[in-house]
Amino acid sequence: MADRLKVATMDRVASVRKRYGEIIHIADGYTFTFPDMVFLSDTGHLVIFDVQTPGGPNFQGRWDDKAFALDIDVEGVSKLQKPRFRRSEEGSSGHHAEIVPTDGERKYHVNICFKGTKIFEGLICVNFDYESTATCGIGFGFSISTD
């Protein structure tokens, strides 16, 4: 006899449907690009944009599905510099993009500084495709009599 039915659903971003950006500032020698194809990796990594220069430091905007946020990571720097950027230390900032209220679009203000130098500022709009997964568990109860 079934005494319980439990259904759990999980929605997560699967891919990017549409994205565009408005560059307010970009430092000399840097380029801003959107990757050609954007799909969620097995590790939950979804790259939205890149800000790069030969020799670095380079920056990658990625979707953080757990935090439901756009985060920026620094690449091409020492292991010590990566957490300093995330914690906004030593004149570096921009790990967390700020959401801009809009009607129906997901828009972010991105402002990246590294060691006191402004690297990039812009508005990034991104629309996602979601996937849903549902799991179902059924509980059974029984009793044994020794009559």
Question: What tens digit of pLDDT does each residue of 58-102 get?
Answer: 999 998 877 888 999 999 999 999 999 999 999 999 999 999 988
**45-52 sheet: strands from edge to edge:** 31-33, 45-52, 58-64, 69-75
Q: Is the pLDDT of residue 143 over 70?
A: no
Contact 33, 20 (CB under 8 A): no
Looking at residue 60, its pLDDT comes to 93
- Burial class of 5 by CB neighbour count within 10 A (0 to 12, 13 to 18, 19+): exposed
The stretch 22-36 carries a mean pLDDT of 94
